Structure 1
Amino acid sequence: MAISTTDAAQAPIGPRLSRGWKLVISALLIVHVTAVIVCPLSIEGSPIAGRLWLLLQPYVQAAYLNHGYHFFAPQPGPSHLLKYELELADGRNVTATIPSRTANRPRLFYHRHFMLTEFLNMLHERAQSSEDPASPQRRVFEQYSNSYANHLLKKHDARRVTLHLTRHLIPYPEEVLRGRPLNDPTLYQELYTRTYVAD
């Protein structure tokens, strides 16, 4: 027996959401979309975006919505490099930098090494914020810097390595237009230096 079109239109489709559930879902969607929009807007320093950012920060962090906006912002901050000096087992000295444009190819490999140095700098900043030399932040930074040093010592069969965590400042556009090179030595600030000896 065929079903008429009027019967099909009147047949129940399934359970419908109540008005209360629709309001809850709509409110959650509004909060989510607002959080997505506030992340990049908070960089510019808008007072409204700043207040919304403070209000939504727990959700933004839990949902991992704030990933990289400050790095790609109109005014990105400085980058961080890990310069190291190796004393090899045969007595030669080698100096290099992480990341390295020549050694870290392809570009994704370079980016991975760049993120490692940025991570080490973040740990260093946290360690510096604590005045207690035995603070958990300092311990974590020391553990990671020891790990980096041990990796370099083993990889290069070295007797000792000196790590230099270095900040590379970005010159203003006007300075570049006047001829200041991006690798001007005055743009580098040494933040941390330590020598590690192989076991």
Structure 2
Amino acid sequence: MILAHLSAVIAPPLAFQSRGPRGLSPSVSLLLSPLTAYGQFLYLDRGYAFFAPDPGPSHLMRVEISSGENNSAEANDANVETRLYPSLDDQWPRLLYHRHFMLAEFLNDAYQPALPGEAAKLVGSDLPIEELKAWRMGRQRYEMIADSMIRHLQKKFDAQDVKIDRLEHMIPDFVPYANEPTPLNDPPTYVLLEDIPITLDTLLGVLPQDLPQPEPRETVPAPSGEPIRDRSATSETTDERERESETTAPIDHQRSVVPPVSEGVSPQ
């Protein structure tokens, strides 16, 4: 029982860390499947990496609400209302703000890019049919969640057109922030996450190192272990060595003509 409980404690954060663009790791998913119900019952599968020492960016929803009463472009722009979720201006008390914050994170976590139109033609050894189905199910799940939120907003605001965009709020790095402090809600820290279909290279798992690399324009010699010096410094050093060799070279036919100085006698 103790080992089972410890496994239920370790499995959720392990699943979070091993999550990639294609979902959970198969081995971690196999470990997590018998412990999912137990972890949810004891609320052991929430909050991992949320309050970590180095938290990641947060995500918001930018909602554009349009009544659609006039078909002209200028009238539509005038009738568009933009809202952010979460927002302390609209959601209060804080529990309501946190609820909308979790909804925005839930939508971003469920995001799955759309498949290219020619993906079905690539089914084979490079793209198993099971993987293609998993991609399609993930995309359908995201669209169902987004459509549910759109219908709710249309009903709440009596709107005809509702558009939801995902935003990512970046956290500034420590060094630039220490050198030049900026507000945490500075507009450049908000990045629009566009809904772009996945490329075929990403779908097939092609890594950057597998792609043809450009040839180098010049040949770079292998490192010799010696420090690199510029040419001017090298020439100056060579000249100094030559001058030293000329002044310090031994001369056999010359002897010192200065007699040694005896103790107590000062030289003249």
> How does the TM-score come out when normalised to structure 2?
0.49
Decide which structure has the larger Cα Rg and report it. 2
Match of 2:64 in 1: 85
CA RMSD, 1 decimal: 3.4
User: In terms of mean alpha carbon deviation, does 154-163 or 127-136 score higher?
Assistant: 127-136
Q: How many pairs align?
A: 158
CA deviation after TM superposition for structure 1 residue 57, in Å: 4.5
* Counterpart Cα distance in 2 of 1:144 and 1:190: 19
Match of 1:185 in 2: 187
State the one-letter code of the partner of 1:186.
P
Match of 1:9 in 2: none
Aligned pair in 2 of structure 1 residues 58, 41: CA closer, same or farther (>3 Å)? Answer: closer
CA deviation after TM superposition for structure 1 residue 155, in Å: 1.2
* Counterpart Cα distance in 2 of 1:143 and 1:149: 10
Match of 2:234 in 1: none
CA deviation after TM superposition for structure 1 residue 108, in Å: 0.7
* Counterpart Cα distance in 1 of 2:165 and 2:105: 13
* Counterpart Cα distance in 1 of 2:156 and 2:171: 32
Confirm or deny that 1:76 pairs with 2:55. yes
Match of 1:160 in 2: 161
- Secondary structure (helix, strand or coil) at the match of 1:76 reads coil
Confirm or deny that 1:103 pairs with 2:90. yes
State the one-letter code of the partner of 1:99.
P
* Counterpart Cα distance in 2 of 1:95 and 1:156: 12
* Counterpart Cα distance in 1 of 2:181 and 2:105: 28
Could you tell me whether the CA contact under 8 Å between 1:43 and 1:73 is conserved in 2? Answer: no
Aligned pair in 2 of structure 1 residues 135, 69: CA closer, same or farther (>3 Å)? Answer: same
Match of 1:118 in 2: 105
CA deviation after TM superposition for structure 1 residue 39, in Å: 6.5
Percent of aligned positions with the same letter in both sequences? 38
Q: Deviation digits for residues 132-189 of structure 1, max 9, x if unmatched? A: 6980111111111111112112211122122111111111233333212212222222
* Counterpart Cα distance in 1 of 2:170 and 2:35: 28
* Counterpart Cα distance in 2 of 1:139 and 1:168: 26
**Structure 2 unpaired stretches of 5+:** 18-26, 70-74, 120-131, 197-268
CA deviation after TM superposition for structure 1 residue 100, in Å: 1.2
- Secondary structure (helix, strand or coil) at the match of 2:144 reads helix
Structure with the higher fraction of residues in strand conformation: 1
User: In terms of mean alpha carbon deviation, does 94-103 or 172-181 score higher?
Assistant: 172-181
Match of 1:63 in 2: 38
